[in-house]
Amino acid sequence: MKRVYLSLGSNVGDREGHLRAALDRFPPQIRVLRASALYETAPVEFTAQPWFLNQVIEGETALSPAGLLSHTAAIERDLGRTREIPKGPRTLDIDILLYNDAVVHTATLEIPHPRMTERRFVLVPLAGLAPDLRHPITGLTVREMLDAAPPQTVRLINS
């Protein structure tokens, strides 16, 4: 079994319901070990859209990185994800942040997630689960990455 960290986000419709529905669809391929608190966050890059509800989960899987991507993409589609505007509004977004200490670079997948070090909406909930976890390329801890990340509004919704 491989340890994985996944970031979940939603800013369309029942945001919390979409996150719960994703968690319900993870098993048996992904065993959820822990889930962070929920955070409401300002959108980045494409900012003319509603705020997101974000969460990070720690899990275990026997799936390969490509298999994990396929499984999470199927969950996104099942829950109504469409890709009309790049970085635009979405019912659900699931990103693979880390997969053990693996470094993967393919045409369709990069692990660790290439922008996780810049995104407070990822680092704040991840720090709640694993502040001393180290990035497999930079060697920085989650806490160190969070300290260096650019500003972004991230509000705790529930713990």
CA terminus-to-terminus distance, the chain: 27
Report the predicted TM-score, pTM, of the whole model to 2 decimal places: 0.94
Count of domains forming the chain: 1
Catalytic residues: 81, 90, 93, 95
87 pLDDT higher than 90: no
* Domain hosting residue 27, numbered range: 2-158
Give tens-digit pLDDT for 23-70: 999 999 999 999 999 999 998 887 788 999 999 999 999 999 999 999
pLDDT for res 59: 98
CATH code, 8: 3.30.70.560
Give tens-digit pLDDT for 123-140: 999 999 999 999 999 999
Q: How confident is the model at residue 2 (pLDDT cuts 50, 70, 90)?
A: very high
85 pLDDT higher than 90: no
